[in-house]
Amino acid sequence: MLISSLLADVIESKPMTKGTVCDLKRKCGKKNCKCAHGEPHSTKVLSSNHHGRTRLLCLTKYPVLQLFNIEKQVKSYQQFRRRRSKVVYCFKSIISEMNKLEKNLLVEVTQKGETDVKRKWKKGRREN
Ligand SMILES: [Zn+2]
């Protein structure tokens, strides 16, 4: 994929929210509740990482439309991160190729009349 089209995709990113939306399953502890018989309570939460800690934000009080928008923004964030990693991979590949090219094109200028082989031999003799 061309870098220009990758960058165009990144630039076209929509408003986003960091994290993932998931259902938190739990038991309330009441003996006669449905959850005690294998049907846990489910709470929709936004799970996100802030400075290395997981933060859970309960989404049950959000109106349906707002919840829909939050889920859309979370999807945008995940898409952005996938596209971003592709861009990073491309640039790393380019830099790696440029480093190889630089290594292959470098011409060392030595003392006049001294060949590369001679220099290596002299250096080896000095070390002995
Ligand atoms: Zn219960």
Tokens encoding 10: 């990144």
The Cα–Cα gap between 102 and 24 comes to 53
Work out the pLDDT band at 128, boundaries 50, 70, 90.
very low
pLDDT at 2: 84
> Which are the contacts of 25, defined by CB distance < 8 A and separation ≥ 6?
40, 41, 42
pLDDT tens column, 65-117: 999 999 999 999 999 999 999 999 999 999 999 999 999 999 988 888 766 66
The Cα–Cα gap between 125 and 62 comes to 79
Torsion angle (degrees, nearest 10) of CA 53, 68, 26, 31: 150
Work out the pLDDT band at 1, boundaries 50, 70, 90.
low
Q: How far is the CA of 119 from the centre of ligand 1 (A)?
A: 82
pLDDT at 6: 87
**Mean pLDDT estimate for the chain:** 89
Whether the predicted pLDDT of 120 surpasses 60: no
CB-based burial of residue 64 (10 Å sphere; 0-12 exposed, 13-18 middle, 19+ buried)? exposed
**Cα radius of gyration rounded to whole Å, the chain:** 29
Q: How far is the CA of 41 from the centre of ligand 1 (A)?
A: 6
pLDDT at 108: 86
Q: How far is the CA of 40 from the centre of ligand 1 (A)?
A: 7
Q: How far is the CA of 24 from the centre of ligand 1 (A)?
A: 13
Whether the predicted pLDDT of 127 surpasses 60: no
Is the pTM here over 0.75, yes or no? no
Query: Could you tell me if 57 and 46 are in contact, meaning their C-beta atoms sit under 8 angstroms apart?
Result: yes
